[in-house]
Each structure stands twice: as structure tokens, then as C-alpha cells.
Amino acid sequence: MRQKHRLHIGLLVLLVSGLILSLTHPATVQAANSSSFDSVLIVYDSLGRGTKDEGNIEALKRLLAAFRVEVTVESIDSYTAGSLSNYSKLIEVHNRSDFTEEDSNYLTDLRSYQGDVLYIGGIPRDKLVQSLGLRAQAVEKVADFSIGPFVEKSIRLGTVYDTEQPGVERYGALKLKDASYPYGIRNGSYAYVPFIEKDTLSEIALSYVLKDWLRQKQESHYYLVFKEIYPFSDLRLLERMSDELYEAGIPFIVSVHPVFSNTDYPAMKRYINTLKYVQSRNGTVLVESPFVATIRDDGRDLNRQMEHFIDVLAEEGIVPLGMGTEMFWTYDDYFASEGMAFFDSVVLFPDTRSIHKAERNHSEAFSSSLYSVDRAYLQRYLSDDRPIDPLPMDTAFTYNFVQNEAELDNLLDSLRNSWITFEDYKKGVHKVKTGSNELGSERGSLVLNGVSLGIQASHVETSSDYEYKQHEQKSFETWFTVQNKFFIVVIFITLILFSGFLIIGYRMYKRKFYK
């Protein structure tokens, strides 16, 4: 009864404490105030499954996230009357060439819409044609597609558009043998591109159009990110990589998987010591989203677990500056509010397998959001390794952490000889906040609870002699020990006597046999 009484009191204290924390620390949600971001509505006629257009909506969403805007995605069929008036910018994506549009709530709202419009598709609307002075040309030929330093050879074109209207901005070139047409056309609040296809040059080309159409002026940079790092990764390799990159003057980011339990085990201590060393070698730490399968559904469990891991890092002087996660987390109520709430900066990786808890059609926006790409993706559109200017958005060249020495050697060689100049993530302003700690960066320095940190660290060995399960104090432990020893002695004497009787019986039987 007394134990139950104590349990009830303990639960009551925890409940009250949780209520107080929720009231006194509502600012754990770090995704910046919604009013500080532009809102964009994407309306599409088809997802283009089974065609070359499949995945282009996802590519567009990732591009927009890198420009720090809130995005809502709706099909024309599911559009709710009156919704358009809530958005300052509209992107129409038409993937179906055979789509026959009938009067609908969307068309009714579109006629009176006064916001900015970007149209993606083969047949732009009359209002856009007039505003941009578009002239159609059916070519049905193969062309070379170029923008900035990038070139994609031999893409097939259908209808293309050009314009002679003064003051119009052109983006890229679709080059035929006898003519050249722009890929993108923009005039003020109106813009047009004929297509976007995932993982092709059009995805990058669209970013040049988006930056101007969204009226964003900030400078952009390249960053180097390593992900898929766990406590059971080869931490010796991670330390060696940190040393090599530090000596080469290459700043880098590690996106590390969180640990939610057993944080006092030696494996966790070694993990922490390695991350401290990485931080001392001009590396930046991000918290990577946990596997969805490991997340329980009870209450605010994910929120508590993420907060615990951040606080464990902070206690050791490690300052995570953001989160690395697949994009679908930003389109999920549960993940955005419970898992991402502590951060105002993210690196969004391409979705590999979307497993939602509470899917929604609008995204969470962040003050800093890096566009993650594979270096080989851009490399195939470059003719040489000459240095190039950053893309229109902050871009993270993302690598899975290596598995062995040979992979590390090849990676380090390619980075030392790279045409990319990487920026130090700490030079940006990033904030992470829990109920106990405020972490961040200012002008290249790490800050923990208002104090600028020195980042020096050395190799620290963690003893393997560890008692993984704490022994509880046992009643009558001494008595049971004596009793066990007594029974062992008795059993041993019994075995000796039994052996003696066995020998005597054998001899008696042998004598009887001879007689």
C-alpha cells in the first residue's frame, strides 16, 4: 500500500511538473512565426505517375523549402472554394496534356486572383500569355539545355515559348540547330517554365526562376554534410575524417542519429567523446531524425526523447545547430510539432520512404533550410571541374558516412580536389531551444546558454569495464551466500562417499564372480 501511495504521489508530481513546463516553456517550438514566411499554394492536375513527370511535385516542394516559404499542395479536384485568397503566391503545375478543364471552384477563384503566378506546363493560360507576351513554337525536336555553367545534352522538346516583350527576364537556353529558346520567362509577378522533371537539370534551372519570382536577395552557399552516423559507426574513421578535413581547411557538418536510452553506457560515452572531437575540428553537429519505426505513439514521447538527447549533448558541451531529416517530416503534424519543434534550422534530405503519423498538405517553414543534393547529380552536367558560383539556394552536398578506410581515402581525395568551396555552417545564425538549454551560433562561434564556447577537445578513451545493470541491495544476501557454500560442501562430500561405495561394491562383485 505504501508503495502504491508513493507511486500515485510521484505520478501527480510528474503531471504537475509537465503542466508547469508546458506553460512556462511554450517557446520550445522553434520553427519561426508563420507570419514571417511567404505562403505559396501549389495546385496540380496530376502527379504524373508512370510518366517522366512523376516526382516533379516532390522536387518542387524541396526547392521551395530551401527558399524558406510555407507550402500548401492541393490537386485541382480537391481544391476548396475561397482558399486561393489566403496565399500571396500561386504555382500551377500541369502534367497532363490531355486534361480538359471544366468550370470549378478553382477556376472561379483564379479569375479574380491578384497574387503572383508561376505556371509550369505546356499550355499556359491566356492571362499569362498576355502578361509575358508569349509566342508558342511547336518544335518536336531534340535540344541541348543549358543554364549557368550546367548543360544537359539531347532532351526532347514539344512546344516551346519565346517573347519579344521588353523588360522580360529569360532563364537558360533550349538550343536547337537553327534556333534557341529560353527555358524560363519572368516579368514581375508572372513567370513561366514549360516543364520540371525530377533529378534532371530542369530541377536546378527552376531554382533560378524561383529565387527571382519569390524576390529573395540573400546570398547562398555550399555546405558539406555527412549523415547516417550512429553510436556503432566506425568512430575511429569519423575522427580521422575530421582531422583530414580540418587540415585541408574544409568545414563540414555531421548529422548524427539520436540515442534515447542507456545514455550512460560506454558506447554512448564513446559516441559523445567523438562528437566533441568532431566539433573541435571545425565540424558542426546536427541531430538526425530517428527511424519512424522506433517512435512510440504514447503522448509526447518523441518530444521528450528528442529534448533528452539535445540536453545530453549540451551537458557535454556539444552544440547541435539544427536537424537533418527527410522532407516528409515537415508535412506531418506529429513530426513537425513533436520532433522538429526545438530547431529553427534544417537540412532536408530527399524522401526515400514516407511513413506518416499525421500527414497534412502544408509544410513547416524554417529560418534556415538547406537543399540536399548528391554531388554526382550536378557533376554530370558540368564539362570540367572549374569552380562555380553557388546555386540560388543554400545547398548541402550530402554523403552517407563511409564504411572503411578505402572509401574514406577516395572521398577525401575528391573533396581536396573539388571545385566546390564549402561554407562554415556556424557563420549563420541558428538556434536550438529546450526547456533547460538554449544553443546556437553567432558569427562563427558556438553559444550555450549565452556563453561562447571554446571547441578544443582531445581523444578521450572510455573504459570497457562497465556494470551494465546496477545491482540492487538484497535481503539476507550473506545468509544465502553461506547457505550456498554449505550445500556445495555437502554435495561434494556426498559425491566422495558415493564414489567410495561404488568402488567397494565393484570389488565385492568381482570377488563373487571369481568364486
pLDDT, residue 461, reads: 52
pTM over 0.85: no
Q: How many CA atoms lie within 13 A of 352 on its CB side?
A: 4
Q: Tell me, what amino acid is at 411? A: L
Tell me the sheet residues that pair with 422. Answer: 222
> Alpha carbon of 67 to those of 216, 459, 510: distances in Å?
8, 39, 100
Tally of CB atoms within 10 A around 127: 14
330 Cβ contact partners less than 8 Å away, ≥ 6 residues apart: 65, 336, 340, 346, 348, 363, 364, 365
Tally of CB atoms within 10 A around 67: 24
Is 265 exposed, middle or buried, given 0-12, 13-18 or 19+ CB atoms closer than 10 A?
middle
> Residue 303 belongs to what H/E stretch?
helix 301-315
Backbone angles phi, psi at 156, to 5 degrees: -95, 130
- Taking alpha carbons only, the member of 39, 85, 36 closest to residue 344 is 36
> Alpha carbon of 404 to those of 235, 236, 407, 410, 457: distances in Å?
11, 10, 6, 10, 24
Q: Tell me, what amino acid is at 445? A: S
Q: Which domains does the chain have, with CATH numbers?
A: 34-213 (3.40.50.880), 222-452 (3.20.20)
Whether residue 435 contacts residue 25, with contact meaning beta carbons closer than 8 Å, is answered with yes
Sheet holding 184-187, edge to edge: 70-75, 39-44, 89-93, 116-120, 190-193, 184-187, 169-171
Whether residue 363 contacts residue 65, with contact meaning beta carbons closer than 8 Å, is answered with yes
Whether residue 161 contacts residue 194, with contact meaning beta carbons closer than 8 Å, is answered with yes
What tens-digit pLDDT sequence spans the chain (515 residues)?
Answer: 444 444 343 433 333 344 333 333 333 334 444 457 889 999 999 999 999 999 999 999 999 999 999 999 999 999 999 999 999 999 999 998 776 677 889 999 999 999 999 999 988 999 999 999 999 887 778 999 999 999 999 999 888 899 999 999 999 999 998 889 999 999 999 999 999 999 999 999 999 999 999 999 989 999 999 999 999 899 999 999 999 999 999 999 999 999 888 777 888 899 999 999 999 999 999 999 998 866 765 545 899 999 999 999 999 999 999 999 999 999 999 999 999 999 999 999 999 888 898 999 999 999 999 999 998 898 899 877 777 889 999 999 999 999 999 999 999 999 998 888 999 999 999 999 999 999 999 888 999 999 998 665 444 554 444 444 443 444 455 655 667 777 788 888 888 888 888 888 877 776 666 65
- Taking alpha carbons only, the member of 259, 275, 248 closest to residue 401 is 275
* Chain centroid to CA 205: 23
Q: What is the largest CA-CA distance in the chain?
A: 133
pLDDT, residue 420, reads: 87
Tell me the sheet residues that pair with 347. Answer: 324, 370
CA separation for the pair 206, 182 (Å, rounded) = 12
Q: Tell me, what amino acid is at 88? A: S
Dihedral of alpha carbons 224, 227, 230, 235, sign: negative
> Alpha carbon of 300 to those of 10, 17, 179, 257, 414: distances in Å?
19, 14, 60, 19, 43
